[in-house]
Structure 1
Amino acid sequence: MSDVKAVDELVVKYNSLKSEIGKVIIGQEQAVNFTLLSIFCGGHSLLIGVPGLAKTLLVNTLSNALGLHFKRIQFTPDLMPSDILGSEILDEKRQFKFIKGPIFSNIILADEINRTPPKTQAALLEAMQERSVTVSGNYYKLDLPFFVLATQNPIEQEGTYPLPEAQLDRFMFSINLEYPSFKEEVQVVKNTTSNIQNTVNSIFSGEEIIQTQQLIRKIPVTDNVIEYAVSLVGKTRPKSNEATEMVKNYLDWGAGPRASQNLILAAKAHAVVNGKYSPDIEDVKAVAVPILSHRIVKNYKAEAEGISIEQIINSLL
């Protein structure tokens, strides 16, 4: 099948996928779109929102609609790396036997990832980057496709461990979930307080998701779009020549090269699901905020003046 035909088919499947998800998830259009884009690019997403905004439900619904295995790990201060990766036990023959942990699944929901100490957070790093884990010197490949969708509560900072920059950079998107509108909330209440059960049909299979990821990597990109993405990322670095006054005044740290790679990959996916065969600068702009927002660090002056990361990124766009 030609790539053009594959793109056309993907658009149809993507729209059916969204209508399946829409049976359960009311509103949250942007969060659904970005989470799907990260899955089609083979990336991971960080979902940030106050309790009760259906973060866990969203991930569960996605795994059903994509026909993937799903495991939820509740991150707590006493969680150990072996609780995620698995551990070796002595069996009845006095041989060491590896018992796989919940990381061996297609979609991992890392619930409240900032509630666990850095040692346990780091257990996810190798899995996220290499798609493999090392336990007691033995190397285990994870099943593909593999995604980590982590949630974080922005309010309660008591007893939390902020994610280190190196780990934040492993997430392709940082997605903020907003409160629903009045109309959406009325619909949510109607749906969740009656005895009607909506079943979500699976539209994709694991194999088709891997094919979609390969298709997106094949999408051609013109040099001016790549140069735009790289220059946009360069402008976030306060010490670079391209940095604007706002960046120099309000940022301590800018985004690294992984941001440029992710901008182009996500722009390709954004173009494809909107029926285009090659991304343009508008596609880069559409994905810029969730890709850059967790990769740049504000200084105390920005905090004091109430300048948000989004304002800084929008000033560059």
Structure 2
Amino acid sequence: MDLQTIALHGGYTKDSQGTMAVPIYQTTAYEFRDVQHAADLFSLKELGNIYTRLNNPTTDVFEKRFAMLEGGEAALATSSGMSAIFFAIANAAEAGDNIVCAKQLYGGSLTLNTHTLKRFGIEARYFDVHDMASLESLIDDKTKVIFFESLTNPSIDVADIEAISAIADKYGILSVVDNTVATPVICRPFEHGADITVHSASKYTTGQGLAIGGILVERKGLVEKLRANPRYEHFNKPDASYHGLVYVDTNLPPYTLRARLSLARDLGAVLSPFNSWLFIQGMETLSLR
């Protein structure tokens, strides 16, 4: 499917009523057939709806459709663009780690990285997107993320996604690209080697200023970069908070899976079904706008 077709139809399998438009599933909870069904859902032996803090049918369509637009494998919708950025970083880094960020960033990202993450014990180091040497000199064995924007907000600097992603790959580090300004219609960072994209869906995705929300997307095949990577042991060891799950061994996209089962579960910065529906409407005209 081309991008316009994806924006109209991607990720939606019609429900039992055969509705052409995606319904708003405005619910918090779901019925389990029996105790075993509930146990199978929570252990991921069966995939399905558990609780809207973790997943929701309307939000699922938004996530799938947006991931298809980006050319990615899976997505996680969040309550804002800033929460998507925080999830992308917190999913990789912990106290004692550092992230390497572009100097040319949205102001909210600069304050998050410089001040808020500092209180979590995560150091932010800054490079100029026009100086690759300044980037490489900042990397060490505690670097967990290289974060930059495809088109910077508001200066509209154009990052060399391929060059930055190549350096990230050289050191086995995750590259995270904020693609809000460019949108998947103008730029698809995964085609240039990026690992993760984040968006403030509040901007061009809605197109009408009706809803606050964000989304995090992982590229296809990211599991191979995470598997046995000493920088990301938490993806390769049993997660004591979720039944000893080893994320790289689930046959599911590991980055968004861990962000959903760990961060969205515990922090709760999730999107309402109604806002997901509004974003779905906005996506239909994204390529025209």
Normalising TM by the smaller chain, what interval?
0.3 to 0.5
Say which structure is richer in helix.
1
- TM-score of the superposed pair, with normalisation by structure 2: 0.36
Please identify the structure whose Cα radius of gyration is greater. 1
- TM-score of the superposed pair, with normalisation by structure 1: 0.34
